């Protein structure tokens, strides 16, 4: 929750560089106490957080408070049928994640959001909605709508909410396919999950249908382990595996994206593009990159958020090194010599580290501008930078091990051998890979 006057989170206070979160009187009565916003590294709680980092911490505390209060309210509410779809979905999504490393916490949160979205789609389809009706507009926008149109939107939304509530109240047994003796027409014997999958496939696309069914299968497997059901019915659904997507960016497309980002004043997105091609890292790993991970020798020590796989990747002389120098110089101009932001990539619009959703929204704006100069860039996603970097590495003559040393993939993903061979990749392999890439890019005269 943000303070409506200042736009900062509720409870956040900045006192001469000593930020603190102070709960409201209502929260204090509920037992919540104020906290100093420090990094927790060292005695007395460590160092005071910077302005941007302290705002992030206050926002996280507000979310934590909201979850705690919601949990208390739920505990006081009447208990629903434990085997209803709604109860089992809520229990699954609320199951605490154990053993998550701090470095992978952000990825776990993102995965949880994606999982919640896909399972919500299952409820939608079972309720008869492959596509949701439009949401009720905010009051200031509703004033501009025709009263009849607004009434229709509210009625559609009410019907949608009622249908979802009905489905959530069903027993999980409604997902079980019909028994053989109850199905005279064997072509119709697949059941509700089969119907939901094919509705999504026909109207939304194969990839979304596959993703929803995969998350439904994981949920049902959880239900099997807890003996709510005896069988994972999602595994019985006949489905097609979507083809893999590989889209490699051209140098012209990459330059167009960088130029567009610079033109829009989003220099950190241009930085992210260059680092993506250099390191061949995923978006979440780039946005999570912090200065302590970047050594004075331009080696980046990091672990992938998704897998935890660690690496010590040398930045390239023709790509990452000059870009890191430019980022440092820009941040010194903005914040002074005595203030170093935690993250390498800082959003120019907020002064804080990028969130995934905000980055994707702004990257789309950058891509739209770049497409005016190079139309083909309209189909290039930020995620394709990883494919591009790996393809460039192979074109430069890197071995599979050298590619894996930069991308932090397992060798099982780079080539079809056992993942355990990854441990054989040493620093000498990483250095050799960086040297080959530098030579290859210098020969092309590439400078992004």
- Quote the CA–CA distance of 158 and 136 in Å, as a whole number: 10
The full DSSP string for 86-127 is HHHHHHHHTSPP-S--GGGHHHHHHHHHHHHHHHHHHHHHHT
Sequence-ordered list of residues with C-beta below 8 angstroms from that of 102, at least 6 positions apart, any chain: none
Q: pLDDT (tens digit, 9 = 90+) per residue, 37-58?
A: 887 777 777 788 888 888 888 8
- Quote the CA–CA distance of 195 and 234 in Å, as a whole number: 11
Q: Which domains does the chain have, with CATH numbers?
A: 1-77 (no CATH), 109-236 (no CATH), 251-444 (1.10.443.10)
403, 311 Cβ separation under 8 angstroms? no
The full DSSP string for 147-214 is HHHHHHHHHHHHHHHHHHHHHHHSBGGGGSPPPGGG-SSGGG-S-HHHHHHHHHHHHT-HHHHHHHHH
Least confident of 106-120, 325-339, 356-370, 397-411: 106-120
Q: pLDDT (tens digit, 9 = 90+) per residue, 249-290?
A: 899 999 999 999 999 999 999 999 999 999 888 888 899 899
Among candidates 402, 388, 391, 267, which has minimal Cα distance to 328?
A: 267
Evaluate if residue 77 carries a pLDDT over 80. Answer: no
Q: pLDDT (tens digit, 9 = 90+) per residue, 1-20?
A: 444 334 678 888 888 888 88
Q: pLDDT (tens digit, 9 = 90+) per residue, 218-233?
A: 999 999 998 899 999 9
- Quote the CA–CA distance of 83 and 174 in Å, as a whole number: 11
CB-count burial class (<10 Å; 0-12, 13-18, 19+) for 339: exposed
The pLDDT value recorded for residue 185 is: 53
Which residue spans within 230-309 are E strands per DSSP?
299-303
């Amino acid at each position: 929750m943000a303070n409506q006057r200042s736009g900062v989170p509720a409870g956040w206070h900045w006192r001469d560089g000593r930020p603190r979160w102070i709960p409201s009187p209502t929260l204090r009565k509920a037992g919540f106490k104020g906290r100093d916003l420090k990094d927790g590294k060292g005695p007395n709680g460590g160092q005071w957080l910077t302005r941007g980092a302290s705002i992030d911490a206050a926002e996280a505390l507000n979310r934590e408070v909201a979850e705690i209060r919601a949990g208390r309210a739920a505990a006081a509410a009447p208990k629903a049928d434990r085997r209803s779809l709604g109860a089992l979905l809520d229990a699954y999504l609320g199951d605490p994640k154990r053993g998550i490393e701090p470095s992978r916490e952000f990825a776990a949160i993102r995965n949880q959001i994606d999982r919640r979205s896909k399972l919500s789609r299952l409820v939608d389809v079972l309720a008869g909605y492959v596509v949701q009706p439009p949401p009720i507009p905010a009051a200031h926008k509703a004033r501009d709508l025709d009263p009849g149109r607004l009434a229709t939107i509210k009625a559609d939304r009410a019907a949608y909410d009622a249908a979802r509530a009905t489905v959530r109240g069903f027993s999980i047994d409604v997902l079980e396919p019909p028994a053989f003796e109850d199905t005279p027409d064997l072509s119709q014997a697949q059941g509700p999950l089969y119907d939901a999958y094919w509705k999504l496939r026909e109207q939304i696309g194969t990839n979304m249908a596959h993703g929803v069914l995969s998350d439904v299968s994981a949920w049902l497997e959880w239900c099997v382990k807890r003996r709510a059901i005896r069988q994972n019915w999602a595994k019985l659904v006949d489905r097609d595996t979507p083809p893999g997507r590989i889209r490699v960016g051209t140098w012209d497309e990459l330059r167009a994206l960088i130029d567009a980002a610079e033109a829009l004043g989003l220099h950190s997105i241009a930085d992210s593009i260059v680092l993506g091609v250099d390191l061949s890292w995923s978006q979440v790993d780039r946005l999570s990159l912090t200065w302590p991970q970047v050594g004075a020798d331009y080696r980046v020590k990091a672990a992938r958020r998704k897998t935890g796989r660690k690496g010590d990747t040398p930045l390239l002389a023709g790509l990452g090194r000059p870009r890191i120098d430019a980022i440092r110089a820009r941040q010194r101009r903005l914040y002074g010599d005595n203030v170093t932001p935690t993250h390498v990539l800082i959003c120019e619009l907020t002064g804080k580290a990028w969130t995934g959703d905000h980055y994707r929204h702004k990257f789309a704006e950058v891509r739209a501008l770049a497409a005016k100069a190079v139309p083909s860039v309209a189909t290039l996603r930020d995620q394709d930078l990883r494919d591009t970097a790996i393809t460039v590495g192979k074109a430069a003559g890197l071995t599979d091990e050298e590619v894996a040393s930069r991308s932090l993939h397992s060798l099982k993903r780079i080539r079809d051998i056992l993942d355990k061979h990854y441990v054989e990749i040493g620093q000498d392999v990483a250095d050799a890979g960086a040297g080959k890439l530098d030579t290859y890019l210098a020969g092309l005269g590439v400078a992004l």
